[in-house]
Amino acid sequence: MTRTLTDAARRDWLRLARTENVGPVTFDQLIARYGEASLALAALPDLARRGGRISPLGVPTLDEVEHELAEGAALGARLICSCEADFPQPLAALDPPPPILWAWGNLHLLQGSCVAVVGARVASAAGQRFARGLAADLGAAGQIIVSGMARGVDGAAHEGALPTGTIAVLGGGIADIYPPEHRDLHARIVEAGCVVSESRPRQTAQAKDFPRRNRIISGLSRAVVVVEAEIRSGSLITARLAAEQGREVLAVPGSPLDPRAKGTNDLIRQGAAICEGAEDVLRALEGFGGFREPGPERYAGGPAEVPDALREQVADLLSPTPVSRDEIVRAAKAPAPLVLAALMELALAGRAELLPGGMVSRA
């Protein structure tokens, strides 16, 4: 359900999203439990203390979030919260969605039909030519091209789609230009397309930011096309996330003699559709079932008081290997609302990590 935020509510939403140990899953559960970001913020110290945290939880001050909002406003960018009507519907359908998104450029593109084109950073000339042509052809057919503005395939896809519309999803902030040689491309995307990120506007990207970036690339899109990728690459992570999110996954076949074809050929072996041109992507989109926003949290309700013994039992059930939250509920042999409340308290204390897809691990 969408809502209109006051300035104060928007600041609270951003403060909660930027709080230490509050990822998208924890954020989603806090809003489900308390209804308003302000009420969740008030409850955080006690929740973290119950989870076993001794030091104060890192919650941004009002001055810090005002500074972030001023940074974005100075660029001409817009902060869109996941509860707002103009938050991209494909992202709103994720379970859970990213709590906030900074957008700089033509925001109307976020409401269009999107296809992601991703691939190797050290791409072949042929791979870059294919990505550029595919993006141009899909753009001419009405699709908005999404990619990560990296070297190689990403940059070529943006170049091909600039005349029709392209969205660059960054790991750092919307003003963090990487690689440096894409400064001109970044400026042209801001002018004619849209740059988006979950990070603060001028935050420098770190390695941990790129899996989140990949989740947004696939989450914005109805289909993801991988042009070239080695077996261990971020593009394959994007393809996996797309499959988990119910998106169409396509791969461009390549020579078995080229390591950059091993990842795409393996995707095809696992059931991805073959992409030899725009018509293959458009055909795949004909069967796309559409986006459905997740319903209310199954175990949402009033604040639950978790017995100390149960909380520690739940903590003992966690390991570095992610398992589903349902498995923890079954193993704990306790009411689901109490187990989920315990997991949230442990996450705020830094003892558990709540992951998208209903998974949880020891932090």
Whole-angstrom Cα distance, residue 176 to residue 185? 13
In the chain, what is the greatest distance between 2 CA atoms, to the nearest angstrom? 61
Q: Who contacts 43 (Cβ-Cβ below 8 Å, separation ≥6)?
A: 30, 34, 303
For 328-347, b where at least 16 C-beta lie within 10 A, e where not — what string? bbeebebebbbbbbbbbbbb
Exposure of 255 by Cβ count < 10 A (0-12 exposed, 13-18 middle, 19+ buried)? Answer: exposed
**DSSP-based three-state secondary structure for 362:** strand
Q: Are 165 and 70 in contact (CB under 8 A)?
A: no
Whole-angstrom Cα distance, residue 356 to residue 280? 30
Whole-angstrom Cα distance, residue 196 to residue 101? 7
Name the phi and psi angles at 166, rounded to 5: -145, 150
Predicted confidence at residue 290, as pLDDT, reads 74
**Per-residue pLDDT tens digits for 188-240:** 999 999 999 999 999 999 988 998 999 999 999 999 999 999 998 899 999 99
Residue 360, CA distances (Å) to 23, 25, 211, 228, 322 in order: 12, 10, 16, 32, 5
Predicted confidence at residue 357, as pLDDT, reads 84
**Per-residue pLDDT tens digits for 279-330:** 999 999 997 777 765 544 444 445 568 999 999 999 999 999 999 999 999 9
Predicted confidence at residue 292, as pLDDT, reads 63
For 226-247, b where at least 16 C-beta lie within 10 A, e where not — what string? bbbbbeebbbbbbbbbbbebeb
Amino acid at the residue 333 = K
Whole-angstrom Cα distance, residue 334 to residue 332? 5
Whole-angstrom Cα distance, residue 186 to residue 155? 10
Q: Are 320 and 353 in contact (CB under 8 A)?
A: no
Please list the pLDDT of the chain residue by residue as tens digits (363 residues). Answer: 688 999 999 999 999 999 999 999 999 999 999 999 999 999 999 999 999 999 999 999 999 999 999 999 999 999 999 999 999 999 999 989 999 999 999 999 999 999 999 999 999 999 999 999 999 999 999 999 999 999 999 999 999 999 999 999 999 999 999 999 999 999 999 999 999 999 999 999 998 899 899 999 999 999 999 999 999 889 999 999 999 999 999 999 999 999 999 999 999 999 999 999 999 999 999 977 777 655 444 444 455 689 999 999 999 999 999 999 999 999 999 999 899 999 999 999 999 999 988 899 999
